[in-house]
Amino acid sequence: MAEKKRIVSGMRPTGALHLGNLHGALANWINMQDDYDCFFFIADWHALTSDYEDPGNIAGFSQDMMTDWLGAGLNPEKSTLFVQSAVKAHAELFLLLAMITPVPWLERNPTYKEQIEALNNKDLSTFGFLGYPVLQAADIIIYRANGVPVGIDQAPHIEITREIARRFNYLYGKVFPEPETILTETSKILGLDRRKMSKSYNNAIFLSESPEDIRKKTAQMITDPQRIRKTDPGDPDVCNVFTFHRFYSPAGTVAEIDAACRKAEIGCVECKKKMADYLVGYLAPIREKIQYFRQNRGMVLDIIENGNKKASIEAETTMARVREALKI
Ligand code: TRP
Ligand code: SF4
């Protein structure tokens, strides 16, 4: 059998995960576990690039996120699951890559200016924040990855990663493959208020949400904004509740609701209740597994420690070649 291609991807620690995280990234990672040699990690140093003034509880958030990863189906027997800050070699490679990365590449990075504007309550005029993509490049190429599954928002960072890898290889001899971007479709699941689902917008449904809270939250969801009265025909194509049906309800139900909504034969209250039933069913086994790992925190810590060890061994193998190439 041909050797599996290696992929690397990371998430900043945000604590408990929601449906947007699941369908935007995690579900895709879970699906890739059999076909690729997977390295998935929690990017806790990256969290510090924007949250350095108030690091809060990054370690706690990392553990909570790993718990949700495991509950949703990432499997430590298949994938290497670890925490960035535990593998110090990322920092060493980051430093070495910084020597060869032209500053204009970083200043041109579209996410750099966007983020500085979007997070205007934070002072992001730091060296660390400018260097965000250099650290990300180190995260990826230290495992000699062939591909990186990410959403479109991260594509510029993978482009910079490729450029940095190419420059290193050109200057010192070929050590790194140039990793491909494996584009993940961005999640079509919106929050309860139809904005992007986000913990900070308070519009999220979490993977560990109780059936009771799922029902309460779905009852609050904004539907087709043009549909005022139950007698008005609705348009499922613009309704976020219908998008949820597509994800969680059987095909027959989806088709029935599509037709009934357009003819005003179903009200939104009933439609939401139906959807909530299927969502509760969908999340039940995930929630159960999350609860199990929450009650067995020692297991989560062991899984992280094992993953950290496996990742460190791989990272050190690469670093030996890097030091040799640089004669340092
Ligand atoms: N920047 C990524 C994000 O915000 C997280 C990340 C850090 C990452 N290092 C990575 C993703 C390496 C892929 C590969 O989502
Ligand atoms: Fe949306 Fe369902 Fe209401 Fe139609 S009936 S607008 S699909 S919630």
Interval 170-219: pLDDT, tens: 999 999 999 999 999 888 899 999 999 999 899 999 999 999 999 999 99
CA-272 nearest atom, ligand 2 = 8
The tokens for 94 are 């980051």
The residue whose CA is least distant from atom 11 of ligand 1 is: 10
C-beta of residue 176 within 8 angstroms of C-beta of residue 169:
yes
Cα 136 to middle of ligand 2, angstroms? 42
Distance (Å, rounded) from C-alpha 298 to C-alpha 301? 5
Q: Are residues 172 and 248 in the same domain?
A: no
Q: Are residues 168 and 226 in the same domain?
A: no
SS3 of residue 183 by DSSP: strand
- As for how many domains the chain has, the answer is 2
Q: Could you list the residue range(s) of the whole structural domain that residue 255 is in?
A: 211-290
Pairing of strands 5-11, 36-42: parallel
Q: Are residues 19 and 134 in the same domain?
A: yes
Q: Are residues 12 and 141 in the same domain?
A: yes
Distance (Å, rounded) from C-alpha 176 to C-alpha 164? 10
Residue 200 lies in a domain: no
Beta-carbon contacts of 166 under 8 Å, excluding residues fewer than 6 positions away, are: 178
SS3 of residue 182 by DSSP: strand
Residue 269 lies in a domain: yes
Whether 271 lines ligand 2, by a CB cut-off of 6 Å, is yes
Whether 274 lines ligand 2, by a CB cut-off of 6 Å, is no
For residue 145, give Cα distances in angstroms to 82, 148, 184, 196: 16, 7, 17, 30
Quote the pLDDT of residue 253. 97
161: domain CATH number is 3.40.50.620
Cα 259 to middle of ligand 2, angstroms? 10
C-beta of residue 137 within 8 angstroms of C-beta of residue 161:
yes
C-beta of residue 10 within 8 angstroms of C-beta of residue 47:
no
Quote the pLDDT of residue 1. 58
Q: Are residues 31 and 177 in the same domain?
A: yes
Q: Are residues 92 and 183 in the same domain?
A: yes
Quote the pLDDT of residue 187. 83
Q: Are residues 267 and 141 in the same domain?
A: no
214-218, Cβ contacts within 8 angstroms, sequence gap of 24 or more: 214/276, 214/279, 214/280, 214/283, 215/273, 215/276, 215/280, 217/192, 218/192, 218/244, 218/272, 218/273, 218/275, 218/276, 218/279
Q: What is the pTM of this model?
A: 0.95
Whether 234 lines ligand 2, by a CB cut-off of 6 Å, is yes
Question: Which residue, 10, 1, 52, 43, is CA-closest to 29?
Answer: 10
Quote the pLDDT of residue 150. 97
Q: Are residues 125 and 218 in the same domain?
A: no
Cα 249 to middle of ligand 2, angstroms? 14
Residue 198 lies in a domain: no
Residue 206 lies in a domain: no
Quote the pLDDT of residue 287. 98
pLDDT beneath 70, residues of the chain: 1
229: domain CATH number is 1.10.240.10
The tokens for 286 are 């995930």
Q: Are residues 215 and 271 in the same domain?
A: yes
From 28, 144, 157, 182, mutation site for ligand 1 pocket: most ligand atoms within 8 A of C-beta: 157
Quote the pLDDT of residue 160. 98
Distance (Å, rounded) from C-alpha 25 to C-alpha 47? 18
Q: Are residues 80 and 227 in the same domain?
A: no
Residue 281 lies in a domain: yes
- Residue 10's DSSP bridge partners are 41
Q: Are residues 286 and 303 in the same domain?
A: no
Cα 261 to middle of ligand 2, angstroms? 6
Q: Are residues 16 and 34 in the same domain?
A: yes
Distance (Å, rounded) from C-alpha 240 to C-alpha 191? 8
Residues having CB closer than 6 A to ligand 1 are 8-12, 43, 46, 136, 139-140, 148, 150, 154, 157
